[in-house]
């Protein structure tokens, strides 16, 4: 490969480009903490609680993308339950239980069943 220095007055004729697709050095789960304030009304003393975003119903829970990945491995790629748990732990250094995977699979099955019923009635 010939490399030439670009001196003043020289105009670039064109350039070549190359791209490398790779994963980040460390895959990590991103944790988002939501807080809902609980306040006492200074006038009447009634307690008022803030609301969490839709879908945030547990103190700790896994988000839709990582749950979808669990279901993908277990149901689409036919990775056994124990190995699916192992893969999530290996990829994200996040220990999960088999129950988490089972719950994700059941949720997808429930949603798909509901969608199929609605689509047949159209």
Query: Tokens 């010939």, residue?
Result: 2
Exposure on the CB side of residue 57, measured as CA atoms within 13 A: 2
Q: Domain coordinates of the chain in residue numbers?
A: 61-120
Convert the pLDDT of each residue in 82-116 to its tens digit. 999 999 999 999 999 999 999 999 999 999 999 99
What are the b/e assignments for 61-79, b being 16+ CB within 10 Å? ebeeebbebbbebbeeeeb
pLDDT digits (tens, 9 = 90+) for 32-87: 999 999 999 999 999 999 999 999 999 999 999 999 999 999 999 999 999 999 99
Question: Global pTM?
Answer: 0.75
């Amino acid at each position: 490969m010939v490399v030439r220095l670009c001196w003043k007055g020289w105009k670039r004729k064109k350039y070549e480009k190359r791209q490398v697709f790779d994963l980040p050095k460390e895959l990590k789960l991103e944790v988002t903490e939501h807080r809902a304030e609980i306040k006492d009304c200074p006038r009447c003393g009634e307690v008022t609680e803030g609301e969490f975003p839709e879908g945030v119903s547990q103190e700790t829970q896994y988000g839709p993308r990582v749950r979808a990945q669990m279901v993908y491995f277990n149901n689409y790629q036919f990775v056994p339950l124990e190995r699916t748990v192992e893969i999530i732990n290996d990829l994200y250094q996040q220990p999960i239980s088999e129950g988490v995977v089972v719950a994700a699979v059941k949720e997808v099955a429930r949603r798909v069943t509901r969608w199929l019923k609605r689509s047949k009635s159209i």
